[in-house]
Amino acid sequence: MKKNRVKTLLCLFFAICGIKAQKKVEIDSFQTQKLDEVVLSSNRLETPLRQNSKTIQILNSDQIRQSGVTHVVDLLQQIAGVDIKRRGAGSTQADLNIRGGTFDQTLLLIDGIKLDDAQTGHHTLNFLPPPQMVERIEIIKGPAARVYGQNAFTGAINIVTKKEIPKTLTLNLQQGNYDQTNGSIFLGKPGEKTSVMGFFSRNTSDGYRYNTDYNQTQYFIKSTFNRHKTPLDLIATFSGRNFGANGFYATPSAKEQYEETQASLISLSQRRKKGAWIFKPKVYWRRGQDMYEYIRNKPEIYRNLHLTNKIGTAFDTSVASNWGFTGVGVDISKVSIRSNNLGDRSRTMMNFFLEHRFYLFNKSVDITPGLVANYFSDFGSYSFPGIDIGWQISPKFRLYANSGVTFRIPTFTDLYYSDRTTLGNANLKPEEANSNELGIRLFNPKVSLSLAFFSRKAINLIDYVKNNQDETIPFKAENIQQVNTSGIDFEFIHLIPINTLIHEFKISYSYLENNLKNSGFNLSRYSINNDLKHHFVSNYYLPINKNFNTFFVYKYVERTSGDAYSVIDVSAQWTISRCQISIYFNNIFNTEYWESNLVPMPKGNGLLGLSYSF
């Protein structure tokens, strides 16, 4: 495997050198692609990326389109340090993890709306919008809990949807291995006062092995009212997934499992600017449903049904003054669950946020202390202090550091779940961690680079543990004593203008070291085993001409368990007038590997697509 990996890296290196040796011509549009012009909506103070003092990585709409992927899940797998642990093909079921955290420790947001789940983070990614609707993806690593509060223990991902698109109606059909059939309709209709975007898709497959078939349906609608005065954004989305879950949960020998999930969101949000003030109110309703059968079509043997609801409102405001930049926010929500296993339960949450940025030395240095205070009806009150420090050494070079306290209360599953392989624990304590980070960021029109060193000292981490392999003994939720985590994050992007086209080469790398303290358990589901130790990703966007482009992705993973593998994906898109032909190949060299729970991932598989825009 190591020889093959070296050959692959050498091929990528020489291909890049050969391309760079070609004639380069600067073009005017090149300047518009600078990432430092992005103003982060994930940050309540709305600072530009180059002035931010956190480790934040961006995927913009051009990068999303160029990748040729069908699911946002595949995009997130191209970011080193973001561990998407999939079970099966496509986006059937996957867990989101950042910097060695678990799926319950990473927060997903859509346009700043928090989509945490009081039942379990297993279904967080069910809310992802289609790539066609995404303007950019903001990946925030590190102690982001000071900004967002609960569930942003190791990081957060904010999906920013598009405001509008030109008038269009696009039909898309894809066919691939394992009888994969994907069909979608994408609609855009801008108007003088109101704009509408809509997406509908249906994806099916017979499965790449026994009992891994799936049937997925998604609706996503976004409408903006009062466009030219004070725009009001409405989002309404639904995702339904039915799938065979061979070995997905319990043990790998549980081959007959089956699951049906639903994820719904309705939200209204607004951004209003008045003088130096910015106001951002939101109201939202999030609904989840999860039906699980241990033996498919035999609910009498074992069946779980969970219905969760979250109703919330948030109000953020910020103001610039001679004293600096101040941000204040409040978020109030109530979550409830009805479950045949967890019972009928509810939780009220209140979150208050305050942050102020001070500028020193002619604004070359900024210091931003902040505080988040939370109240939970079943766990009491907690606060998260933190501070960011930035030094803008030059317009292109920034040094930054941040430190903060992060926090997560147990989910209802952690507290109350019970079956033959898993036991909850009603006596669990909240998780806590002190996180620190030191980083540098470099920008210029052609090259951007970021490097960060981080550490996290966590106590009372919640994990499902036991001491031997005996399948008759269940994993039980416990507060393992302490885990010290340290590592690095690196990203390098090079935009290469050749003739009238822009190539993009990107590499990202993360290293993670976990040091478990004082644990008396030998086996763990989440916190102790199977994190990403080494994660290297290399992307190359290669446009052949203005109508034909290709995209290559190389991923190398080595986990703390010792397992290592390399995967290469390739995509291409050819546009002919209103028609586009696309191909997407995943794992082209048939690598045998798994990402979660010893579920083997599909070997080489591809999709051939045809779309037409009216």
pLDDT tens digits, 371-427: 989 999 999 998 888 999 999 999 999 999 999 988 899 999 999 999 888 899 999
pLDDT given at position 527: 60
Upper half-sphere CA count for residue 555 (Cβ side, 13 Å): 26
User: Beta partners for 512?
Assistant: 487
pLDDT at 482: 86
The rounded percent of the chain whose pLDDT value lies above 70 is 92
Question: Phi/psi of residue 272, each to 5°?
Answer: -125, 130
Mean pLDDT over 517-525 rounds to 75
d(CA 501, CA 496): 8
Kindly report, residue by residue over 155-183, the tens digit of the pLDDT: 999 999 998 888 999 999 999 999 999 99
pLDDT-derived band at 552, boundaries 50, 70, 90 = very high
Contact 202, 219 (CB under 8 A): no
DSSP 31: G
Average pLDDT over the chain, rounded to whole? 88
Round to whole Å and give the CA distance between 234 and 221: 8
* Mean pLDDT value across residues 52-78: 91
Residue range(s) defining the domain that contains residue 71: 2-613
Q: Give the C-alpha separation, 421 to 171, whole Å.
A: 45
Range 89-112 average pLDDT: 89
pLDDT for position 518: 67
Place of tokens 């297993």: 122
pLDDT of residue 2: 44
Number of domains present in the structure of the chain: 1
| CA pair distance 36, 447, nearest whole angstrom | 11
In Å, how far are 434, 497, 572, 574, 610 from 547, measured between CA atoms?
Answer: 50, 16, 11, 6, 15
Average pLDDT for 4-9:
43
* CA–CA gap between residue 42 and residue 288 (Å, rounded): 24
pLDDT of residue 192 exceeding 70, the answer is yes
β-strands 422-423, 475-498: how paired?
A: parallel
Q: What percent of the chain stands above pLDDT 90? A: 69
Question: How confident is the model at residue 33, as a pLDDT?
Answer: 44
Of 15-24, 279-288, 472-481, the one with minimum mean pLDDT is 15-24
In this model, does residue 228 exceed pLDDT 60? yes
Strand extents, DSSP E, 245-379: 258-270, 272-274, 277-293, 303-321, 324-339, 343-360, 365-376
pLDDT of 8 over the 50 cut: no
| Amino acid letter, 147 | V
Structure tokens at 225: 């009212």
Nearest to 310 by CA among 137, 139, 150: 150
pLDDT band at 206 (very low <50, low <70, confident <90, very high): very high
Q: Is the pLDDT of residue 37 over 60?
A: yes
pLDDT at 469: 79
78-92 mean pLDDT: 89
Using the predicted structure, report yes or no on whether residue 4 has a pLDDT greater than 70. no
Read off the pLDDT band of 514 (50, 70, 90): confident
For residue 7, pLDDT over 90 is answered with: no
Taking 80 as the threshold, does the pLDDT of residue 149 lie above it? no
Work out the number of other CB atoms within 10 angstroms of the CB of residue 131: 20
| Calpha distance 410→396 (Å, rounded) | 42
Residue 30 binned pLDDT confidence (cut-offs 50, 70, 90): very low
Q: At 311, which CATH number? A: 2.40.170.20
Higher pLDDT, 520 or 70: 70
The arithmetic mean of pLDDT across residues 122-141, rounded, is 93
Least confident of 119-128, 147-156, 305-314, 540-549: 147-156
Q: Given a cut of 60, is residue 580 above it in pLDDT?
A: yes
pLDDT higher than threshold 70 for residue 34: no
pLDDT at residue 100 greater than cutoff 70: yes
- Res. 345 pLDDT band, cuts 50 70 90: very high
